[in-house]
Amino acid sequence: MRKVLVFVLLVLFVSTFSFGVKIGLSVSTLNNPFFVDLANGAEDKANELGIELLVVDARDNPAKQLNDVEDLILQRVDMILVNPTDSDAIVSAIEEANDAKIPVITVDRSANGGKVLLHIASDNVAGGRMAGSFIAEQLGGKGKVIELVGVPGTSSARERGQGFNEEISKHPDIKVVARQTANYNRAEGLTVMENLLQAYPDVNAVFAHNDEMALGALEAIKAAGKLQDIIVVGFDATPDALASVEKGELSATIAQQPYTMGEMAVEKAYEYLSTGTIYFPVPLQLVTE
C-alpha cells in the first residue's frame, strides 16, 4: 500500500511540475532538413512530457536569433535551447539569458561564451576525420580535393574542417586545392561547385561540411558529366543524402542523429528543471573470462 501511495504521489508531482513548464528552442534555420528533424525531435519529446515548447526560426540571421532569444526571455521561459547561427554572435544572447537567470543548453553548435548548462552534439571533429579517411582510402592516398565549408563562425564548420584536414594531412600526396564556403546551402553548393570545376577540372574528390552543399555540388558535377570521376562526401545523413548514396551518386555521408539531439535537449532541460541535476549514465560492460 505504501509503495502504491509513493507511486501516486510521484505521478502527481511530475504531472503538476509539467503543467506550466515552458521551454524555448531557437533553431538556426528551418530551411534545412537536418534542423527540421532536430526541431521535430524536440517537439515530440515535449509533447510526451506534457510541457510547452516554443520554437523560433533564426533563418540563419544572427541578429534575428538575438531578437528571438530576447523575446523568449520576455516570455519568461524556464529554459532556452539554442542552436546557434554563429558561435560568437550568440554570446550576447546567452549572456542576456544568464542575467535573466534562465538556464541555456546549446544544441549541435556550441557558443564561444556565456554560461551554458550543457552542450548536446555529435563529435564533429571525429566526423571530419571519418570523411577524410574515407576519401584518402578511395583515392589510394593520392589526388586533388575540394572542401566546401559551412557557415563561417559556426562550431560545426570549424570542427568538421579541423578533423578533415587533420586526417588529410597524413597523406602528403593528397592536396586540398580549394576551400570555399557555401553556407550549408544547396543552391550555393551548386553555384560554388560550378565555378570551382572551371578552375580545377581535374579534381578527384569533394568534402562538403553538410549534405545540402554536397547535393548541390553533386548537381554541378552531374551537369559537367563528371559523376564517375569525382567522389563526393557529405555530412548529416539527411533523407535526400541517404537516397543519393543508395542510388550510387553521393559517395558517402557522415551519419548524425538530429532527431535524437532534439529529444535529448528537451529531456535534459526537463530533468534539470525538475530535479536540479542532469544525469548521464556511464555505459556498463560485462567482463568474462
Going across the sheet that includes 231-236, the strands are: 174-181, 143-149, 205-208, 231-236, 252-255
Residues 6+ apart with CB under 8 A from 122: 108, 256, 257, 261
What is residue 20's predicted lDDT score, i.e. its pLDDT?
83
Q: What is the pLDDT of residue 279?
A: 83
Sign of the torsion formed by the C-alpha atoms of 174, 178, 184 and 189: negative
The residue written with cell numbers 504521489 in the block is 9
Report whether 26 contacts 68 (CB < 8 A).
yes
Provide, rounded to the nearest whole percent, the portion of the chain with pLDDT above 90. 87
Q: Is the pLDDT of residue 14 over 70?
A: no
Cell 564556403 belongs to residue = 181
pLDDT classification of 15: cutoffs 50, 70, 90: very low
